[in-house]
Amino acid sequence: MTEHDANEGLEAIARIMDLVKFHMSEALKADGQRLQLMEAHILRIVRQREGCTQLDVVRETRRDKGQIGKLVAALVARGLLVKKADPDDGRRQRLALTPAGDFIAYQSKKHRSDIAKLLFSETSPADAEKLLISLRQLEGALTSNTPAVRETDAR
């Protein structure tokens, strides 16, 4: 692949993600939610991985630990998340959704599903499968060249 084609491919991915973020933001607004997209993402992560830690969220999102810390604190302050002491290690805090946070995480997951259906609505099943294979390869190329978040980095 030429450098030009690679850059064009990256720009196409960026435009698609901008559109996905726009649709997600609009869906959250329509629900009356005043959440940042990353806040909604954190709620979805905690819903999927109940009892995860803030470090798990940092690892999954590859975001700065300070940014995640502020977002988690805001979600706790809004009554959408709670922190619970880990019974195996009292120094570690586990994240859990409140009922309100669980409802928003559920809605957010449904919106993502609706956006995915729209995104692939004009793609044949065979083309969608080829695209998924290519996207997994692209993700693998970047993942293998991305340093892991160490526990000491996330403190």
Give the total number of structural domains in the chain: 1
- Checking if the pLDDT of 3 tops 50, the result is yes
DSSP 93-136: EEEEE-HHHHHHHHHHHHHHHHHHHHHTTTS-HHHHHHHHHHHH
In the chain, pLDDT over 70 holds for what percent of residues?
95
pLDDT tens digits for range 45-89: 999 998 899 999 999 999 999 999 999 999 999 999 999 988 888
The alpha carbon torsion through 43, 45, 47, 51 (nearest 10 deg) reads -110
Cα–Cα distance, 70 to 72 (Å, whole number): 6
Residue 30 and residue 26: Cα distance in Å, rounded? Answer: 6
- Domain that residue 61 falls in: 3-154
d(CA 155, CA 146): 19
CATH of the domain at 8: 1.10.10.10
Q: What confidence tier does 154 reach under pLDDT thresholds 50, 70, 90?
A: very low
| 153 secondary structure, DSSP code | G
What is the full DSSP assignment across 22-56?
HHHHHHHHHTT----HHHHHHHHHHHHTTT-BHHH
Prediction pTM value: 0.84
Q: Which residue has the higher pLDDT, 151 or 42?
A: 42
User: How far apart are alpha carbons 76 and 82 in whole angstroms?
Assistant: 6
